[in-house]
């Protein structure tokens, strides 16, 4: 299953609003605010790479007050032997 981590930079003070919007999106399994250059990190999965791309491009990036994103696609063969027993990344 295609999975991506998306780092989000947003307008100052809009983090909680954006977190709430992202939690509503299909395929979002984890979302957290973070310190550093980016403000939010999201783990998103979809049935196909096209659906993953669509969610990121047409839903995440279109949320009001999202300034920029950086998307990292997970290499499926390097995700671990048993994905069900893996701890959450964040």
pLDDT in tens, 33-44: 999 999 999 999
In this prediction, residues 11-33 reach a mean pLDDT of 97
* pTM listed for this prediction: 0.84
> What distances in angstroms separate CA 21 from CA 17, 26, 33, 63, 83, one per listed residue?
6, 11, 13, 8, 27
Query: Residue 87 in contact with residue 23, Cβ under 8 Å?
Result: no
Contacts of 84 (CB under 8 A, 6+ apart): none
Q: Hey, CA dihedral for 79, 84, 85, 87, is it positive or negative?
A: positive
CATH number for the region 3-76 comes to 3.30.70.920
Structure tokens at 53: 């791309």
Reported confidence tier of residue 88, pLDDT bands at 50, 70, 90: low
């Amino acid at each position: 299953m295609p999975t991506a981590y998306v780092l989000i930079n947003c307008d100052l003070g809009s983090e909680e609003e954006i977190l709430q919007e992202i939690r509503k999106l299909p395929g979002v399994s984890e979302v957290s605010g973070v310190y550093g250059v980016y403000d939010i990190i999201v783990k998103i999965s979809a049935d196909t790479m096209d659906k993953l791309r669509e969610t990121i491009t047409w839903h995440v990036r279109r949320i009001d007050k999202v300034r920029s994103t950086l998307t990292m696609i997970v290499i499926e063969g390097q995700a671990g032997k048993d994905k069900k027993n893996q701890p959450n990344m964040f």
